[in-house]
Homo-oligomer: A and B are copies of this chain.
């Protein structure tokens, strides 16, 4: 075991940190705020993302052949940790980087890799994910979007839902039914869809936070070249499982952790704020138990993520046990946002914009946002099924 970084890795970390300090907008983290308007915020983040790419900070661990930096997985993690530590703007091409790219690296043709990977890195092409449907949530494999071959094209009909970034995306990877006559897992295919194709309608969905991060997407005779198929026809389920493993695994969890740690620091500061009589929530041992448990939760997430990550570093693959990471962080984060409101007390339910809201109302908002975390990327119920059946081998 060795939790230290090499001198070269430490040097890399300093470079990243210095670059971020020099290149983030002046006043970032104090006087500078991201735009409140969603579209403007998207544009701001996209600019930032392209700036990172221009400076050579995109795809740290990707092969140079696909536009990456050819670095190590450790460097990739250091880079993401530093982004999170600086509270840098979030990426907008998350789905392209984290899901499309590893899926294509594992299952795409060389032509597909050459065509798509560099433009993912440069954020020239933003991606969205076409998996869930209104009647196929937990039971993803029951999806009904139909993909039918017609000459040298496919024709797509149906509906997807919960499609984040659909309104901004140039591309979408779609899981659709190509053979309705076989058992449901065996008739699915994985295809790449140009969002500029005629026949696509996007309708935003309003969330309980009032935000509109995700959409319904309707397909009406949408024509897709056959070359856009990833893997073999009717082999889509296996490919989608690769995608989901990356969505749930340690590479997703470790950078997320740094942001959660920032949130916890902020909660500890609320807890330490003196009240009228000079006492503080942080002096109350019942509250201290919950704050300590959040700290412990986070440390367990970090260490368990590092154990998985060490296996990746050794070249081992992460399989269904990725569900442990996803289940853990989603549930611990929900507990943490509740602790945050508890610490803030009666003012806890105040939202951003209220002058009296503790931490600017961040936690009332995050409490609401966190409710989705145990649903998306496979609900907690589905993750527990996967762990029980595919990790522990319990019968279906």
Contacts and interface: CB of A to CB of B under 8 A. Distances in A.
Interface of A: 284-286, 288-289
A282 to B, nearest CB: 13
Contacts of A289: 286, 289
Contacts of A286: 285-286, 288-289
A284 B285 CA distance: 8
A287 to B, nearest CB: 9
| Copies of this chain, tallied across the complex | 2
A288 B289 CA distance: 12
Nearest to A283: B285
A304 B285 CA distance: 31
A295 to B, nearest CB: 15
A356 B85 CA distance: 52
A286 B289 CA distance: 7
A239 to B, nearest CB: 34
Contacts of A285: 284-286
Contacts of A288: 286
A279 to B, nearest CB: 13
Nearest to A285: B285
A288 to B, nearest CB: 8
A285 B288 CA distance: 10
Nearest to A287: B285
A363 to B, nearest CB: 22
A338 to B, nearest CB: 16
Nearest to A292: B286
A312 B95 CA distance: 60
Nearest to A288: B286
A285 B285 CA distance: 6
A289 B288 CA distance: 12
A68 to B, nearest CB: 50
A215 B187 CA distance: 55
A285 B289 CA distance: 10
A67 to B, nearest CB: 52
A288 B284 CA distance: 12
A390 to B, nearest CB: 23
A289 B284 CA distance: 11
A286 B284 CA distance: 9
A81 to B, nearest CB: 33
A332 to B, nearest CB: 20
A292 to B, nearest CB: 10
Contacts of A284: 285
7 contacts: A284-B285, A285-B285, A285-B286, A286-B286, A286-B288, A286-B289, A289-B289
A284 B286 CA distance: 9
Interface centre among A284, A286, A288, A289 (most CB of B within 10 A): A286
A339 to B, nearest CB: 14
A285 B282 CA distance: 13
A294 to B, nearest CB: 15
A111 to B, nearest CB: 50
A321 to B, nearest CB: 26
A358 to B, nearest CB: 22
A291 to B, nearest CB: 12
A286 to B, nearest CB: 5
A285 B287 CA distance: 9
A288 B285 CA distance: 10
A26 B288 CA distance: 49
The 7 closest A-B pairs by CB, nearest first: A285-B285, A285-B286, A286-B289, A286-B286, A284-B285, A289-B289, A286-B288
A288 B286 CA distance: 9
